[in-house]
Amino acid sequence: MLRRIWSLIKKEFLTIWKDPKSRSLIIIPPLLQLFVFANAITMEIKNIDFAVLDRSQSVESRELISRFENSVWFRKIIYLNNEKDVKHYIETQKVQGAIEISNDFASAIHAQKPVTVQIIVDGRQTNTASIINNYASQIISDYSNELSPPERGAIVNTSIRNWFNPNLEYLWFLLVSLITMLALMISVLLTAMSIARERELGTFDQLIVSPLTSFEILVGKTVPPLCIALILTLFMTFISVTVFKIPFVGSLFWFLVSTFTALLSIVGVGLFISSLCKTQQQAILGVFTFQMPAVLLSGFVSPVEDMPAFFQFIDIFNPVKYFMILSKGIFLKGMAVPDIISNLIPLILIALFTLTLAGRTFKRKLD
């Protein structure tokens, strides 16, 4: 019995190792995950882009702003002229927050009277917003303590506003992000396993000899997973709004358009994986190889701005990143149409590229 078991074990090892695809899937994904985790995942928020609306234009206000400029946490300080600019920069995620200094800032300090500085932070990323609030509050508190001893009371106080998620409800951020990730998982897994399943069951040859063209087969393999993922996404959105009471403040039409486009680009990735794999096991490993880096680099765990420049460049081609931006933007803040379109264009290009690549690979396999 032991000899038979040992023979089977050796046979399985040899089968896995002799198959080039299985061998590469065993070696490459762990190394890739290690590389991505080590560089892209961090709970420390740095490289923060911050806006300043300085109505005081005084020595005192410039001294406070210099504390932000010289901080290791803040990368760029952008000076703005009015509240409209502040709103635009935060909405479009050009900055992660802003500081607003009132006209009477300098006069209040000279008179040793309390004055309030307002901190505005993008609340769509709850963990990041909370950390930025702590950083800004600490800088302002240290500045206030230099002006007056703590026992006399703070001269400079902080008023914090979290836009798009006033109470920094983590559930808001988590559920919207989960909708995106589950839609990704469903669509890419179903499409990746479709052609591989046909090969494994031996029905792929029947498709080849059927009157269907390669394009028709691809369309037939694309539509069902796309429809299933779209319906489940809408159902999860409905549950989030009705059961968990998360406010949906954007346009349902643009949310549907964005979801459809994002899922189409992800389905293209799944079809490409499926066209390369011979078994469902290989397809699942291929999905895992794509899915984990895509999610980690999407900004779900750590802000994209805190990642190395190399990963930020790769992220340009990551459909999950744009899907995450659109989902949270439309769901939580009612993203403006120009901003939606600017994120839809990369998704459309990625969808065209992945579907074309999957079609050519599939056609070559048929030939």
**Residue 183 predicted with pLDDT over 90:** no
**Pair of tokens at residue 281:** 């096991």
Assess contact for 157 and 114: CB atoms under 8 A. Answer: yes
- Give start and end residues of each alpha helix (H) in 158-251: 170-201, 204-209, 214-242
**Residue 345 predicted with pLDDT over 90:** yes
**Pair of tokens at residue 75:** 């990368």
CB atoms within 10 A of CB 51: 22
φ, ψ for residue 117, nearest 5 deg: -110, 130
In DSSP notation, 15-68 reads: HHHHSHHHHHHHHHHHHHHHHHHHHH--SS--SEEEEEEESS-SHHHHHHHHHH
When pLDDT is averaged across residues 341-365 and rounded to a whole number, the result is 84
φ, ψ for residue 237, nearest 5 deg: -65, -45
**Residue 154 predicted with pLDDT over 70:** no
Strands of the sheet with 74-79, listed across from one edge: 74-79, 48-54, 97-101, 115-122, 156-163
When pLDDT is averaged across residues 291-316 and rounded to a whole number, the result is 77
Which has the minimum average pLDDT: 8-12, 205-209, 313-317? 8-12
Say which residue, 48 or 168, is predicted with more confidence: 48
Count Cα atoms within 13 angstroms, Cβ side, for 198. Answer: 18
Give the C-alpha separation, 186 to 266, whole Å. 10
Most confident of 28-32, 169-173, 251-255: 251-255
Give the C-alpha separation, 6 to 289, whole Å. 30
Q: Which amino acid is at 336?
A: A
Most confident of 149-158, 161-170, 180-189: 180-189
pLDDT of residue 349: 92
Band (pLDDT 50/70/90 cuts) for residue 346 is very high
Band (pLDDT 50/70/90 cuts) for residue 11 is low
* Sign of torsion over alpha carbons 206, 208, 213, 214: positive
**Pair of tokens at residue 303:** 């802000």
pLDDT of residue 88: 83
pLDDT of residue 115: 85
Beta bridge partners of 74: 48
Q: CA 193 → CA 92, 196, 215, 261, 286, distances in Å?
A: 37, 5, 18, 21, 10
When pLDDT is averaged across residues 313-340 and rounded to a whole number, the result is 85
* Sign of torsion over alpha carbons 237, 241, 244, 247: positive
* Best CA proximity match to 180, nearest among 73, 323, 72: 323
pLDDT of residue 147: 80
Most confident of 126-140, 190-204, 239-253, 336-350: 336-350
Burial of 159 (0-12, 13-18, 19+ CB in 10 A): exposed
* Best CA proximity match to 87, nearest among 339, 303, 347: 339
**Residue 251 predicted with pLDDT over 70:** yes
pLDDT of residue 216: 72
Burial pattern 57-74, b for ≥16 Cβ within 10 A else e, equals ebebbeebbebbeebebb
Digit-coded pLDDT (tens) for 27-78: 666 556 555 555 555 555 777 888 888 888 888 888 888 888 888 888 888 8
Digit-coded pLDDT (tens) for 141-150: 888 888 876 5
**Residue 151 predicted with pLDDT over 70:** no
Residue 176: alpha-carbon gap to chain centroid: 11
Q: What is the dihedral of CA 229, 231, 232, 236, to 10 degrees?
A: 130
Band (pLDDT 50/70/90 cuts) for residue 210 is low
Say which residue, 35 or 109, is predicted with more confidence: 109
Q: Which amino acid is at 195?
A: I
- Across the chain, where does the E strand assignment appear? 48-54, 74-79, 97-101, 115-122, 156-163
When pLDDT is averaged across residues 160-173 and rounded to a whole number, the result is 72
**Residue 110 predicted with pLDDT over 90:** no
Which has the minimum average pLDDT: 111-115, 160-164, 217-221, 235-239? 217-221
pLDDT of residue 127: 72
pLDDT of residue 230: 85
